[in-house]
Amino acid sequence: MSDAAAAGAGASLDVLIPTFERPAALAITLTSLIAQTHADLRVVVSDQSRRAASFDVPEVIAAVCVLRAHGREVELHRHLPRRGLAEQRQFLLDNARAPYCLFIDDDVILEPDLIERLWRTISEEGCGLVAAGLVGLSFVDDVRPHEQAFELWEGPVEPELVTPGGPAWERHKLHNAANLHHVARRLRLAPGSRLRYKLAWAGGCVLYDTEALRDAGGFSFWEQLPATHAGEDVLAQLRVMARRGGCGILPSGAYHQELPTTVSERGVDAPWVLPVVAEPARASS
């Protein structure tokens, strides 16, 4: 086993990245992992690009080489055929071996201390997930006070049932545009802060207790969905929060590259067609 592999074999946290035909964005995302203050991590990429693999382009190769030079194990998988977003995420979960797994999209930029703040929060709370909502900084001048309401966790994070269209569903508006950036500025939060707030759901950057995600069924519901679906990450989060609880943290520290979506067909939205409260079904590992 190489030195890098040995370092990753016992990592406390796996970073799981699904990607599809976004090599430039993937390179930026991987680069933002290099300087993370939480060094005890392993990176797993699952690529479903139709053409050449995203990790075969020079920019991604360079980022991977630097990560490995810093002692981080990096696994690159070519996972085909495409069977939908949920199956892609289940494949990544099946390859996770650390106590915690961070799902990030392939078009996200992380501040250097973000993974450390997420990990400290989930370790202290013992909850199922902790999220950093994505900030779109092209909206930095678009201030939306009507979307910035939020509710703090005053005590420990506890299980909470959030259902599509229910009262708590409106919380998702906090993650629109640059709302999280504006809230953090208004509150004058110091660097390194970890203000815990209640979620509806979060897209793009969510740290799970790996066993909690598996115990909630993971993304094994992919077989109940057509290949062209959306909302698979939302459904998984709702199921984990119902059993173990979850929170978001402020400030966020996760930024969206704001690329056009690669999910063109959204006719089937997982949390609206499958139950949030399901019989416990341990996903394969």
From 206, 192, 196, 268, select the one nearest 236 (Cα to Cα).
206
pLDDT of residue 112: 98
pLDDT of residue 51: 83
pLDDT of residue 226: 94
pLDDT of residue 2: 36
pLDDT of residue 191: 85
CA dihedral 142→145→146→148, nearest 10 degrees, is 100
pLDDT of residue 8: 41
Domain boundaries along the sequence of the chain: 3-273
Q: What is the pLDDT along the chain (285 residues), one digit of tens a residue?
A: 333 334 445 789 999 999 999 999 999 999 999 999 998 999 999 999 988 899 999 999 999 999 999 999 999 999 999 899 999 999 999 999 999 999 999 999 999 999 999 999 999 999 999 999 999 999 999 999 999 999 999 999 999 999 999 999 999 999 999 999 999 999 999 989 999 999 999 999 999 999 999 999 999 999 999 999 999 999 999 999 999 999 999 999 999 999 988 776 667 999 999 999 865 555 544
Output the pTM of the full model.
Answer: 0.93
pLDDT of residue 215: 97
Angle 147-150-151 (CA atoms, 0-180°, nearest 5)?
A: 160
pLDDT of residue 282: 52
- Could you confirm whether domain 3-273 is CATH 3.90.550.60? yes
> Please, are residues 168 and 201 in contact by the beta-carbon 8 Å criterion?
no
- The total of other beta-carbon atoms located within 10 Å of residue 59's CB is 17
